[in-house]
Amino acid sequence: CLVKKSDELPLLELDRESIIEATINLIDNALKYCEGKCKLEISTGIKDNFEYLEVSDNGIGISKENQKKIFEKFYRVSTGNVHNTKGSGLGLSLVSNILKVHNGYVTVESKLGEGSKFRLLFPISK
């Protein structure tokens, strides 16, 4: 696991427990949906007027079609008739809702067979 932290990030007022829960959910998914040698990278930074925490992996990836649905409650990406990985389909919905409560949002970039990058974005107060 590689962790990259930007040095000069402004302090944000966030609910610690819920942000930890969202982050753990993304890390757990990255490890669950990885085949072979897993590569996990966590980084922080600023984009536009948002501070972000990013979790990226080299897992199985998510199709464009499924990326539109993964934040819906109970939605799980189909792997045929059998789900090889246990889950309820609630994790990413919870992550999305946690970010909404903090006036932020979550994004995903992913390619099948190459991995995924999830970014939690929190507005920076002026």
- Which CATH number is 82's domain given? 3.30.565.10
Measured between alpha carbons, how far is 77 from 97 in angstroms, rounded to an integer?
19
pLDDT for the residue numbered 82: 40
Domain limits for position 24: 2-123
Tokens matching residue 126: 């002026």
pLDDT for the residue numbered 72: 84
pLDDT for the residue numbered 83: 44
pTM here is: 0.87
Strands 50-57 and 105-111: unpaired
Task: Please write the tens of the pLDDT for every residue from 65-110.
Answer: 999 999 888 777 766 444 456 666 788 999 999 999 999 999 999 9
**What is the DSSP-derived secondary structure letter of residue 54?**
E
| Strand, helix or coil for residue 76 | coil
Count of domains observed in the chain = 1
Measured between alpha carbons, how far is 28 from 20 in angstroms, rounded to an integer?
12
Measured between alpha carbons, how far is 44 from 47 in angstroms, rounded to an integer?
10
| Strand, helix or coil for residue 84 | coil
Measured between alpha carbons, how far is 55 from 95 in angstroms, rounded to an integer?
13
| DSSP H stretches of helix in 1-126 | 16-32, 64-67, 91-101
